[in-house]
Amino acid sequence: MAVSKNAANDFSRPRRYALARVEKTDAPDGGSNKWYRYVLDNGRSTITGLRSGSVKEVTDYANQYAEQLNARSINGQSVWSPRGRKPAAAAQS
């Protein structure tokens, strides 16, 4: 079965993360604070996190986190995994 060029390009283009859901969960340390689990999804990957606070605070945080992740992918590479030439000092070692 042949893969169309459009389907192949879907994997090379970054997809935007969006908040999929926020749900109440137990505190990880057994404490009494309110904790929520948030899930960010981009259609290929999911990121799950835990945060204490009100549902509004956690929702605001997760939306801001998704925006930051999306901003990193605008240039097509992660700042945590740089691509390209190695510095001259490393190449001489």
| pLDDT tens-digit readout, 28-40 | 887 888 999 999 9
**Predicted pLDDT of residue 76:** 58
pLDDT band at 1 (very low <50, low <70, confident <90, very high): very low
Question: How many H-runs (helices) and E-runs (strands) does the chain carry?
Answer: 3, 3
35 - beta bridge partners?
25, 52
pLDDT at 23: 98
Q: Which residue has the higher pLDDT, 16 or 10?
A: 16
How far apart CA 86 and CA 75 sit, in angstroms, is 19
Does this model's pTM top 0.75? My answer is: no
Token pair for 70: 């999306």
| 3-7, 36-40, 76-80: range with lowest mean pLDDT | 3-7
